[in-house]
Amino acid sequence: MLCGVNGPQTSFSFAPELHAFVTAEHITARAPVVTDGSSTLGHVVESLGVPLTEVGRLVVDGSEVSVAHIPRAGEHIEVRGVERPQRVPGAPLRFLLDVHLGTLARRLRLLGVDAAYTNEDPGDAALAALSAKERRVLLSRDRGLLRRREIWAGAFVYSDRPDDQLRDVLERFAPTLAPWTRCTACNGRLADADKESVREHLQHGTQRTYDVFAQCTACGRVYWRGAHHARLEAIVEKALRYSAG
């Protein structure tokens, strides 16, 4: 499709955040791109390696065009990144994370953000279908998965470090945070609980030492302010800070 000898020749420039996806010649120079004269701009951009989930405005010689635009000879095409915070219209903001993003899923849940995730990989087709069915933004580091047409909305996760991943998602989507309201194990809602009603779930040492504060309404897991609390508190505090500023 690309690099044919007879099609129209165009040139591209990409926003810095998209440089992770394109080859060096497209970062440093406006390398010529020969198209076939019938493929859409969306298709051409994808063929150059950029998932459309990461593409914001497309500007051709100063005018904005859609992904359906057919590139013509001599055009210079500017590919911009998504605007932050990114608004996802049509449904409450909810996420679906692929099998590699378990830590990020648990941190989002800790902050009260609806984050569906399972550590048993259902496969790309099932994930994409679930994104469509439940209108969830699919988070992934897999470009092939993000290219699937069925997905309702998606976002590439740029870092492989959970701290950076969390900051990236919070900055990009600015979800409403409600720390300590969601089960980190299953994504269910937490309800207040008193120690008496959950005594059977607690080990003896826990009974004596800690105050129970919540129980998951979906899986029954009991939460208390225990040994890991300071570390989790630090994650929450940091998230609230950068979400506020």
Interface stretch with Zn ion, choices 123-131, 141-149, 175-183, 231-239 (CB under 5 A): 175-183
Nearer to Zn ion, 63 or 120 (CB): 120
Nearer to Zn ion, 30 or 221 (CB): 221
* 114 touches 92 (CB < 8 A): yes
1 lies in the binding site for Zn ion (CB under 5 A):
no
CB of 181 to Zn ion, least distance (A): 12
Per-residue burial over 88-101, b if 16 or more Cβ lie within 10 Å, else e, is beeeebbbbbbbeb
* 218 touches 184 (CB < 8 A): no
Interface stretch with Zn ion, choices 45-53, 132-140, 155-163, 186-194 (CB under 5 A): 186-194
CB of 102 to Zn ion, least distance (A): 15
Member of 212, 216, 222, 232 binding Zn ion (CB under 5 A): 216
CB of 229 to Zn ion, least distance (A): 18
Nearer to Zn ion, 221 or 225 (CB): 221
132: left (phi over 0), alpha (psi -120 to 50) or beta: alpha
CA-to-CA dists, residue 213 to 54, 198, 205, angstroms? 40, 10, 16
Number of residues that bind Zn ion (CB under 5 A): 8
In total, the chain counts a number of residues equal to 245
* 177 touches 113 (CB < 8 A): yes
188 lies in the binding site for Zn ion (CB under 5 A):
yes
* 52 touches 67 (CB < 8 A): yes
Rounded to 5, what percent of the chain is helix, strand, coil?
35, 20, 45
186 lies in the binding site for Zn ion (CB under 5 A):
yes
219 lies in the binding site for Zn ion (CB under 5 A):
yes
Q: Which two tokens stand for residue 87?
A: 């608004």
Member of 22, 50, 58, 183 binding Zn ion (CB under 5 A): 183
Member of 73, 178, 191, 218 binding Zn ion (CB under 5 A): 218
Interaction site with Zn ion (CB under 5 A) = 183, 185-186, 188, 216, 218-219, 221
